[in-house]
Amino acid sequence: RSCNIYIKVRCDIPPELWTPILFLHDVWWCISINTAFVFPFCRYLKEFRTEQCPLFLQHKCTQHRPFTCFHWHFLNQRRRRPIRRRDGTFNYSPDVYCTKYDETTGICPDGEDCPYLHRTTGDTERKYHLRYYKTGTCIHETDARGHCVKNGLHCAFAHGPHDLRPPVYDIRLSIMPLVTTLFSRYHAFNKHVSRLVKPVS
């Protein structure tokens, strides 16, 4: 109950993200960060490159070259927000790329409902997916400002233990290893029992 209060007061997460696994993994990290940081994990997962830059439309964005803007400028830079639905599945795969997506125009005939990964500029749909964002440690150092020397301010990899977050899995993928393990143990147990029990003659 207290965690739900934290969500409403301290973290702006839409209802479709309020699933048990995402709650345990992502929201926990959001409420554990000092409020001065404006919940960077939540903000990047929810907003990074999902909206077009209003300053770019006015030819005023100073982060166009090199492209370091938090928002997208051209359609092929646009990233869809990853969502883990109430049934435990992702709205789009974190691993399987769409074969219909045009990397030049940024257009997919299936649009927002495409269940596959779009290969956007910088591969942002994969790097900033619930499955992968900040789940691995970056091999590059940070500069005096704390920015990654290779990937800059928006590095999708963790720089230190405080920057790591647990991955969120699609329930279809997270359950299968468990099912496989249970079946293998079941068969191993039956095999073991069959050796101990002699058939009655």
Reported as a single tens digit per residue, the pLDDT across 139-150 is 999 999 999 999
* Res. 190: pLDDT tops 70: no
**Higher pLDDT pick, 152 / 178:** 152
Pull the structure tokens for residue 178: 């468990």
Whole-number mean pLDDT of the chain?
79
pLDDT tens for 55-113 read 999 999 999 999 999 999 999 999 999 999 999 999 999 999 999 999 999 999 999 99
Domain ranges of the chain: 1-38, 48-133+166-196
Question: Taking the CB of residue 137, how many other CB atoms lie within 10 A of it?
Answer: 12
When comparing pLDDT for 18 and 167, which is higher?
A: 167
The CA distance from 25 to 125, in Å, is 19
Given a cut of 90, whether residue 40 has pLDDT beyond it is: no
Helices (H), strands (E): how many in the chain? 7, 0
Token pair listed for 98 = 């769409």
pTM: 0.68
pLDDT at 41: 73
Stretch among 3-17, 44-58, 154-168 having the lowest mean pLDDT:
3-17
